[in-house]
A and B are shown apart, each in its own frame.
Chain A
Amino acid sequence: MIRLAWRNLFQNTTQIALGVGGVALALLLMLAIDALLAGSEDDLVAYIEDSGADIFVSQEGVKNMHMASSAITRSDLRLAAQAEGVATVSPILYTTSVVETKEGDVLSYIIGFDPMEPLGGPREIVDGTLEIHNKEIIIDQAVARSQEVALGDVVEIFGEEFTVVGITAGLTNIVNSVSFITLRDFQDLRGDDRNVISYVLVKILPDYSAKSVAAEITARNPDVLALSEAEFSRGERQIIRDMSVEVLNIMNVSGFLIGLAVTALTLYSNTLHKRSEYGVLKAIGAKNIHLYTVVVAQAFISLMIGTVVAIGFILLLGQLLPALVPGVAVTLTASGLLRVFAASLIIGGLSALVPAFQIARLDPAEVFRG
């Protein structure tokens, strides 16, 4: 029966091209939008995850960085350093602000870090230097590309000029980027008390658990909250998703539902189009179960070919889009692929079977008349 389904499906190349083309386009729609959503969730917490810190210490009650404000003191840092299992403590100052370039403004986390400390600054760069001095800045590649900023160019933060000396990669997400200046410059810009810092990045000794060391730091000092890197990045991701990714989610769901509707309509039409051929099948004595098997097999084959074509296009998009549009990532996930394929298989299978049930109830001669 499967062989019959295959041969019947490929009997008319125009029909197969149109039928499978419709399914492929619907799948492409669903998978591409899902891949864009997945891509937009990439790098949301890249600074935290790539910082090298095991624990983040913040002002009591502050569980993330995005749109948050944390102020602790150097004595809080020293208290954290005394906790058992702590290897190093590195202070940073942080705010969200605008990096002004000649091409336009970019929203960015501004991190003020001490180049003499082990943590806080960028871990890797793709161009320039990690050695940063006063009035110098390290920005991300996506910003450099989109704003056409190169090493040696000048950008502005809070009206002050900074020379770009380094370029990082992977620190720009859909809501902002990350830029690094020295702690001293940050203090000068804001006129902050030099005793005040925003967060402490803690590295722990081997054989210690981040969770237990964080609990000890918090227990020693009621003015701070210490969270393991995993907890801190979870809180950060949640806040950004709540603020910004939800709208993309809704758009993804809309695309998914419409894509399913188009898949269903296409497979329904495909079955209907072949009603006379199914009538022949019945006329030569095939049972209804054979008819259903052929119909489902043809829907499955169409979906498989459609999926392969759609995946091919998305892989191509994944290569082309990031090169053409900085800041866009197309990430095809296994869960997204599975969700789209499973839903299409169920809805498409049912849509193909509905006209088959009607055909099954008719006399073969009736099918030709209809």
Chain B
Amino acid sequence: MTYLALRNLFQNTFRLILSISGVASSIALIVLLRGFLSGIYVQVTAYLDNTPVDWVVSQEGIRNLLGGTSFLPPSTEDLAQGISGVEDIIPIVAQYAILDIHDEKVVGYMVGYDPDIGGGPWSLLAGRELDDDDEIILDWVMAEDHGLKIGDNIEILDEEFEIVGLSADTSSWMANFFFIKKEAAEQLLLAPEATSFLLMTAKPGYDKASIEARLRRRLQDVEILPSQVVKQNDLDLLVNIFAVPLKMMVSIAFAVGTAILGMIIYTATVSRASEYGVLKAVGGKNTQLYSLVVQQALLISVVGLGLGILLAWIAGQAVMEVYPKFLVVLRSNDLLPTIVTGIGMGLGAALLPALYLSRLDPAEVFRR
């Protein structure tokens, strides 16, 4: 039966190509849009993903990194020093800031850090670490978008900074990261000795729950949150409202895409009605008809799905090449529902006309 299914399918190669192309197009869209959505989630948590810490300490009421402005009470860092089990304490000044680039206002996420302690860029594409207060490491996408290179100067809140490094994996659909020294950030915000967040790491082998309890006893009137919670808060806050239309787009693409897939396979099956009639006329049983239809639908669905995923990957790479601030992430977890639904829809769409045909007399099939 498999041989017959294949021969029958390849009898009209062009029609087969059209069916597979249609399926591949709809699947490509579903996978690509899902990839955009996943990319957005990855970008939101990029800083904490790449600056692995156990706790984030912030101003009371501020429970995320990217959502609001945090200023810790002045003594917080001193109080945190010496708590048993705490290995590293990284103080940073971080908040959104508007950069003046070629007379254009550009929003960036400023991180003021101490290069000797950490909290800065995790991947330098070019240039070097910061030495002075008037130096800046800019996200490379931001630099490229605005025609900036190492050695150029840019203005932030009326202060001039020289670009000494370009960081990688620090761009985002919302705002790109840029890094300056912590003292420079304090000066920019007219807040000497200010710290927005303390990023803390536990010593290996120590019980994190006990350390957290000690932190809570020592540090009053601040938020002490595990890094995972802060990441989730950022996702909830920034992606939740924004992702609604985005998720709707993905859902619509999914619903319409699978409907298109079903319709294509339904059409392909109906267009072979007379051939299935011949099968019945020469004594083929209904089970053989179903088997033939299922195999053909499976082949179109599977090849179309594979091609669609490949197309989505190529389109994603092209989008990231042309617009590097967007990230398209294709994950197997996200692909699975599309694959399962696609194959299910394909089989259903093929079996529906087959069931109808099986109930007809072969001669009836030709008359239709």
Contact = CB atoms under 8 A, between A and B. Distances in A.
A301 interface: no
Interface in A42-67: 61-64, 66-67
B259 A39 contact: no
A133 B128 CA distance: 53
Given A97-B69, A107-B238, A328-B245, A28 B29 contact: no
B326 interface: yes
Interface string B16-48: 001001100110110011001000100000000
B159 interface: no
Interface stretch (B113-121, B209-217, B248-256, B340-348): B248-256
A363 interface: no
Contact of A172 (B25, B241, B252): B241
B314 interface: no
B237 A98 contact: yes
Interface residues of B, number: 62
B61 A258 contact: no
Interface string B84-111: 0000000000001110100001110000
B60 interface: yes
Given A29-B256, A269-B18, A254 B32 contact: yes
A68 B98 contact: yes
Nearest to A40: B245
Interface stretch (B178-186, B265-273, B331-339): B265-273
A158 to B, nearest CB: 4
B107 A250 contact: no
B240 interface: yes
Contact of A26 (B61, B64, B236, B260): B260
B253 A29 contact: yes
Contact of A97 (B14, B18, B67, B270): B67
B315 interface: yes
Contacts of A175: 241-242
Interface string A147-180: 0000000001111100000000000101111000
A106 B238 CA distance: 8
Contacts of A235: 105
B257 A29 contact: yes
B345 to A, nearest CB: 13
A251 interface: yes
A98 B263 contact: no
B25 A258 contact: yes
Nearest to B95: A69
Given A97-B68, A242-B107, A268-B18, 6 more contacts: A18-B267, A33-B252, A69-B97, A158-B59, A235-B105, A254-B315
29 contacts: A18-B270, A22-B22, A22-B264, A25-B263, A26-B260, A29-B29, A29-B257, A32-B252, A61-B158, A63-B105, A97-B69, A98-B61, A105-B233, A105-B237, A107-B237, A107-B241, A157-B61, A158-B60, A159-B61, A160-B61, A174-B242, A175-B242, A243-B107, A243-B173, A247-B173, A248-B245, A250-B323, A254-B32, A269-B18
